[in-house]
A = this chain, B = another copy of it.
């Protein structure tokens, strides 16, 4: 069960980082385009109050659900009431011990935070390219969601296995502060932030700035520091509360 080795998990998280950055840099080729996120401005008759972005995300997830995406623990959907998979999906034992994978679903705070980072990475204004904007939004939020849930679920399970008794006691005492302290690895967090900074720069090192919008590393670092890292830890705690007793 390679997934439950902490080094293996850290490696997977690092690889998912690249994909998140690719997708944010691609989204940043379009303007913010507020209209794509406004209720009733989607261009789809009768779709109010849903925005074009909401419609696109739902449509993507309906397709993904039929293809079996949400049978995977780290793929948690943004929408409810999606169609069942029409495909047989055979997964090996992942080692995840949750009765319902959606017990750890961080998509709602993710969406809120994504709307905050968008104007910090995209040029201001409206270029009319709403379809392309929301297409790339969906790719980006799905990549972020995969990283968040993978981190929350697998990191927590792996740490739990290192000290099942210790975590169990804290969960039973409902000691969230104690859990947070036990989970936190400041050195790892610092390393992630340094790595993201280096990558945002090197991914854009040979970009022709007159034709491609470049993104500063600062908002992405802040996003990791204030959102991705703390929300992953919050997810770890939720995992542990739902995990204890499922052996």
Contacts and interface: CB of A to CB of B under 8 A. Distances in A.
Interface of A: 11-12, 14-15, 18-19, 22-23, 25-26, 29, 42-45, 52, 55-56, 59-60, 63-64, 66-69, 72, 86-90, 92, 128, 131, 135, 139, 195, 198-199, 202-203, 205-208, 210-212
B68 A131 contact: yes
B44 A29 contact: no
A196 to B, nearest CB: 10
CB-based closest 4 A-B pairs: A11-B211, A22-B22, A43-B87, A202-B206
B69 A208 contact: no
A139 B202 CA distance: 23
Contacts of A64: 135
A135 B43 CA distance: 27
A211 B22 contact: no
Contact of A15 (B43, B55, B56, B211): B211
A43 B19 contact: no
Nearest to A11: B211
Contacts of A195: 206
Given A15-B212, A22-B22, A211-B12, A68 B43 contact: yes
Contacts of A198: 206
A53 to B, nearest CB: 11
Contacts of A88: 43, 45
15 contacts: A18-B207, A19-B26, A22-B23, A43-B68, A43-B87, A45-B88, A52-B87, A56-B67, A59-B63, A59-B66, A59-B67, A60-B63, A69-B131, A139-B139, A203-B203
A180 to B, nearest CB: 27
A9 to B, nearest CB: 11
Contacts of A203: 202-203
Given A26-B22, A212-B14, A205 B202 contact: yes
Contacts of A19: 26, 29
